[in-house]
Amino acid sequence: MQCFYEHDSREIGLPMKFSVFLPPQALTGQAGGKVPALIYLAGLTCNEETFMAKAGAQRLASALGLALVAPDTSPRGANVAGEADSWDFGVGAGFYLDATEQPWSQHWRMESYLTAELLPLITGALPLDGGRIGLFGHSMGGHGALTLALRHPGLFKSLSAFAPICAPSQCPWGEKAFTGYLGADTSSWAAHDATALMNQIKSAPYPGGILIDQGLADKFLAEQLYPEQFEAACAAAGQPLTLRRHDGYDHGYYFIASFIADHLAHHARQLGLDSLSA
């Protein structure tokens, strides 16, 4: 069952939308009433519909008994001056953090929304197992998945990403977002930079491994993404990482659709599902 929801968000202070795919096991009680869930964080300009419409993940998730959840990428309807002036900042570009700078700090609270509000909401209202939640994402959402998983390791049992922004403190997208949301003091940025966070870790938070897929024909690879920096940080921390580089693949959803089965299988194993059943 593919579902779309809207609710009044306490953390955001505005209505927020999210989508949920429930496999048959969640509807028939085959899994003892609750199934594990995989939360997907989308990239710039996307919303709660993008992944569900484009990735082709539902058939395999159905076979695995895995729920899929996709929140929106930012608040909408705040009517903040300048919120829609740029495609890479403001609406559709929440960067999965809590803004500290005005006028963004009132509504742009995506980290608290996801971790303190949406997770309790969906695990309380839907047949989802709150002890078996995985996290993944694409591009800006890959940044969000890596940083939120490293900042809240107890919430998430598995982690992967497609073409994530791995060192946002050092790339134009991240510099623009962090300056606007967090301010010009760069000392606060490291707390939301996956490479910087991994460099601070003493032991592997995800011993089952992190999976990242990156297309080598991705036009954003050289200037925006920096997966090699996250790879080096993981090696230094002893964090198992599989970083796969694919010739000919770009940044779009055909790339995601090509490798979505591997990501679902990666999460299924770590969430206690039999990936071979698909």
Active site residues: 139, 218, 251
Do 28 and 36 touch, CB atoms closer than 8 A? no
Instruction: Tell me which H or E stretch contains 7.
Output: strand 2-8
**CA-CA distance, 197 to 15, in Å (whole number)?**
31
How crowded is residue 233: how many other Cβ atoms within 10 Å of its Cβ? 22
The backbone torsions φ and ψ at residue 219, rounded to the nearest 5 degrees and listed phi first, read -70, -15
3-state secondary structure (DSSP) of residue 126: coil
Q: Where are the beta strands (DSSP E) in 15-81?
A: 15-21, 35-41, 67-71
3-state secondary structure (DSSP) of residue 233: helix
**CA-CA distance, 241 to 273, in Å (whole number)?**
21
Tokens coding 62? 């159905």
Place of tokens 């890479």: 88
How crowded is residue 147: how many other Cβ atoms within 10 Å of its Cβ? 28
Is the previous residue joined to 103 through a cis bond, with omega within 30 degrees of 0?
A: yes
